[in-house]
Amino acid sequence: MTEEKREIIPPKYDLDAKWDECVDLTVRRFVYTSLAGAFGGLLLFRSPVSRWAAVAFGAGVGIGSAYTECSQKFDGFPTKFAPPAPKVSDTPAPKTVLQNPGSQEGQE
């Protein structure tokens, strides 16, 4: 009797499970937010175009939130862009003295 030896893949590297989870998450969020947009469109708008716009907005919110969460699952949190720190000199800036032209001495 032969026994099959299966390698146990750590959850961090199991791409099949990640893809399954992301597809499931995307479909659920797309459907639920589209339905929420349709319900909101029925309550708030009278025009069919406005109602379809509410459905499209809901679908976009669902797909966008699913994409954000799935990209976090695959890559981890994205690194924040930090602009380079400004170069600060230790020497003080030279002081300039400005004179008011109306307060010159010696003129009458």
Residue 90 corresponds to which amino acid? Answer: D
Report the distance separating Cα 14 and Cα 71, nearest Å. Answer: 15
Domain ranges across the chain:
12-75
- Whether pLDDT at 28 is above 90: yes
56-106 confidence digits (pLDDT tens): 999 999 999 999 998 888 877 656 666 677 777 777 777 887 777 766 555
Residue 44 corresponds to which amino acid? Answer: L
Higher pLDDT, residue 6 or 67: 67
Higher pLDDT, residue 18 or 103: 18
Report the distance separating Cα 108 and Cα 87, nearest Å. Answer: 49
Report the distance separating Cα 52 and Cα 37, nearest Å. Answer: 8
63-72 confidence digits (pLDDT tens): 999 999 988 8
